[in-house]
Amino acid sequence: MNRRHFLFLLCAAGLNGCGSPRSDSLPSFSETGLETEPVLPFDIPDGQTLLRYQFKKGEELHWNVQHTLKMRNIIGGMEENIETRSRAVKIWKTLDVDANGAATFEYRVEDIDMHQAQTGHDDILYNSCRDKQIPAEFSNLQGKIGVPLAHIKIEPQGQTTRKPIREYAGSISENRIVIPLPDEPVGTGSRWSEPNQIELPQSNRTVKKIRARDEFALESIHSGLATIRFSTLIFTPLTPQEESQLLDHFMQGTMELDLQAGYFIRHQATADRLVVGIQDASDSIRYLSRTTSCCCGRRACEICGIA
């Protein structure tokens, strides 16, 4: 895997949104133009909860995001180690909420702090608040800090559509802004899933479609927070070279949904993969990635308190 690919992974991590609103109070039904609470087509059994997103027009949703990536690459007997670290503040501004509760957001990266160390190269540092010049290795950040990058619409059950304003390197963790929520009320231990298709570009300019499934489980409900565990299963057989291009699809982790507010306040995801036999039997890539995002805003939070 070459230096350009590693730099793409780093920059993609830096421009991934993981946003949800701050803990402002929700609008009343009179404020949203609804006279009464909507009537649900079913009763909610004891011990179960209806999971839905709720957003308020005018909110700015601040997420503090930390990302680390370690890779050990052995190709043709040569070993290369890469470690990247980034911290970013991602802003999701709620432009509109329609009568059905679907919210349209403006997404931007407010600031970012990046560090890359690579075998045989000088460390590369960039802080958007301090540095006027963006290093050439991070040139895809040019013109993308502090400006709108996309409009994203999120339905109450998590269906998402994105309309880019500027080209930017989105990646898998950006799709974890929200997750799909089940149709009916669920209790602790409930599981649901959603089919997924991954498009993998081939060297002959075709695209291989990879069959996958995103799986979710309600792990617990405590103090008004629902902890949901997620993972991705890939069913299409992959060659080692193909797997090495899909490492960020093997994420698993948890998200904490504030049931009263109606949004996620914390997201943790990790991927730990070893791929062997990329070009020959002795080749290998060890990939360890971790992303932690939070928007709780508490001073005591190890993520928000030091942002």
**pTM beyond 0.85, yes or no:** no
Residue 240: CB partners within 8 Å, gap ≥ 6? 275, 276, 277, 278, 283
- The candidate with the shortest Cα–Cα distance to 12, out of 72, 88, 124, is 88
| pLDDT above 60: residue 22 | no
88 contacts 109 by C-beta, under 8 angstroms = yes
**Token representation of residue 8:** 């793409």
pLDDT of 159 above 70: yes
* DSSP E strands, the chain: 60-75, 78-97, 103-118, 124-127, 150-154, 160-164, 191-201, 207-222, 225-234, 252-258, 263-276, 284-294
Given this model, what pLDDT does residue 71 score? 97
- pLDDT at residue 85 is higher than 90: yes
pLDDT higher than threshold 80 for residue 9: no
Banded pLDDT at 35 (limits 50, 70, 90): very low
What gap in Å lies between CA 132 and CA 243, rounded to an integer?
A: 37
Nearest-angstrom CA–CA distance, 148 and 48: 39
pLDDT tens digit string along 220-257? 999 999 999 999 999 999 999 999 999 989 999 999 99
Categorize the per-residue pLDDT at 210 as very low, low, confident or very high, splitting at 50, 70 and 90. Answer: very high
| CATH class, range 3-22+49-306 | mainly beta
Q: What is the mean pLDDT of residues 138-159?
A: 92
Segment among 39-48, 63-72, 152-161 with least mean pLDDT:
39-48
Pull the structure tokens for residue 146. 């502090």
pLDDT tens-place string over residues 87-123: 999 999 999 999 999 999 999 999 999 999 999 999 9
d(CA 127, CA 112): 6
Per-residue pLDDT at 15: 47
Q: Which residue has the higher pLDDT, 13 or 214?
A: 214
Mean pLDDT of 58-72: 92
The answer to whether 10 touches 248, Cβ cutoff 8 Å, is: no
Q: For residue 261, is pLDDT > 90?
A: no
Give the mean model confidence (pLDDT) for residues 146-158.
93
User: Taking the domains of the chain in order of start, what are their residue ranges?
Assistant: 3-22+49-306
Confidence of residue 27 (pLDDT cuts 50, 70, 90): very low
Q: Does the structure show a pLDDT above 80 at 202? A: yes
pLDDT bin (cut points 50, 70, 90) of residue 162 is confident
